[in-house]
């Protein structure tokens, strides 16, 4: 069974997981946005 009890270390454990989630979210969103933005731009500028 899951044991989410972290007792007196809660601040350290949940901060570490929170920062990890936030950094992954930033990396995923920035990567997808960068690719989407330039794909759209390349398609707009492509010779018809």
Partner 1 sequence: MLPAPAFLTNPERFMAFSRWAAPMFGAIALVLGLAGLWLGWTAPEDYQQGATVRILFIHIPAAWMSEFVYACLAVASLLALVFRHVLADCAAQAAAPLGAGFTVLALATGSLWGRPMWGTYWVWDARLTSVLALLLIYVAYMALRASIDDETKGARAAAILALVGAVNLPIIHYSVTWWNTLHQGPSVFRAGGSALAPVFFWPVILLVLAYMSAFGSLWLVRIRGEVWRRRAEAAALRAARA
Residue ranges of alpha helices (H) inside 1-48 are: 10-45
Per-residue exposure over 5-35, b if at least 16 CB sit within 10 Å of its own CB, e if not: eeeeeeeeeeeeeeeeeeeeeeeeeeeeeee
Q: Does residue 5 belong to the site contacting partner 1 (CB under 8 A)? A: yes
Mark residues 6-35: x for contact with partner 1 by CB under 8 A, - for none: xxxxx-xx-xxx-xx--xx-xxx-xxx-xx
Q: CB 41 → partner 1: shortest distance, Å?
A: 4
Task: List residues near partner 1 by CB under 8 A.
Answer: 1-10, 12-13, 15-17, 19-20, 23-24, 26-28, 30-32, 34-39, 41-42, 44-47
């Amino acid at each position: 069974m899951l044991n989410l009890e972290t007792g007196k270390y809660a601040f350290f454990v949940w901060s570490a997981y929170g920062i990890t989630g936030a950094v992954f979210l930033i990396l995923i969103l920035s990567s997808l946005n960068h690719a989407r933005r330039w794909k759209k731009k390349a398609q707009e500028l492509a010779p018809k």
